[in-house]
Amino acid sequence: MTSEFEGQVAIVTGAATGLGRCHALALARAGARVVVNDIAGPDGDAGGAAQAVVAEIRASGGVAVAEGADVADHAQVEAMVARVLARWGRIDILVNNAGILRDRSFAKMEMADFEKVLAVHLTGSANCCRAVWEVMRQQGYGRIVLTTSSSGLYGNFGQANYGAAKTGMIGLMTTLQEEGEKYGIRVNTLSPFAATGMTDGLLSPEDAAQLTPEAVSPAVVFMASGHAPRKTIIGAGAGVFSVIHVVETEGVYLPPEGRSPDDFHAAFERMSDLHTARQIRTGFDQASKFTGTANRARAVFA
């Protein structure tokens, strides 16, 4: 039986080790031709770890090449995409996985480390999306997977830089999906938890045995497929998959004379009532919700 991925080309960044390696292997097993991207070695070529993943894919009958572009360098990413197009003529899937850590409490964090983490995670993802965007628009088809984190969604001590970068993925996803919708581009975000080099010493052996990178990658294959959702955050860990929603309560109208801190405090429980919460599609939809709630409240007061 022919796989839907046969003939498709996937770029996976940060694919030499950990989650990226597993994503690349999973997409290759599904039938895609895979670009294994990771930071270049001293000679400018993809390092030995990326080449080893390529060899692993080829040994299993798959098709893959290694690319050493630094995702934080827009020119390097553009050059990588040009080489992929020259080789295979199309790019169907982009999995933004590349990342680094520079953990330290915010009081002790050097701003250079803050900027470096954002440059790799957030700007690096934007660089890659921008480089493939016109290709996907012209094809009328594309699948983009961004990578957020529980640190970005829920917070984690010592990771203000990482958390900020990872939360930025949500805004990038929502806007790119709006702009890519009519071109057949679907943009989604993965929130993985896996035992990798980034979690060494943080997990019990029992938990680490379940939280394998391989248990996350099926979510990436789904988001890269024809069945991909839109503008969705999928949590994945230990073979468990969830959907993470950003929701907003209906809100409480406070009249002009009733907007003091004491008034907010008195209304805060009602303002926070999750029974009224729902997803908001766009920023303009939020504005419509605000005005609608205000108009209904004014009608009661009138």
Check 141, 162, 183, 253 and give the catalytic one. Answer: 162
Cα 216 versus chain centre, distance = 13
- Cβ(99)–Cβ(37) below 8 Å: no
Cα–Cα distances (Å) from 117 to 101, 201, 238, in that order, read: 7, 21, 26
Q: Which residues of 72-98 are buried (b: 16+ CB within 10 A; e: fewer)?
A: bebebbeebbeebeeebebbbbbbbbb
- Beta strands per DSSP E along the chain: 9-12, 33-37, 64-67, 93-95, 142-147, 185-192, 233-237, 240-244, 247-248, 278-279
Tell me the residue type at 116. Answer: K
In the residue annotation, 162 being an active-site residue is answered as yes
The 8 Å CB, 24+ separation contacts for 228-231 are 228/143, 228/186, 228/188, 229/186, 229/188, 230/177, 230/181, 230/186, 230/187, 230/188, 231/173, 231/174, 231/177, 231/187, 231/188
- Indicate the Cα dihedral angle 168, 21, 29, 12, nearest 10°: 40
Enumerate helices (H) and strands (E) in the chain, giving the number of each: 11, 10
Tokens of 31: 């039938």
Q: CA-based diameter of the chain, in Å?
A: 75
Q: Which residues are catalytic?
A: 162
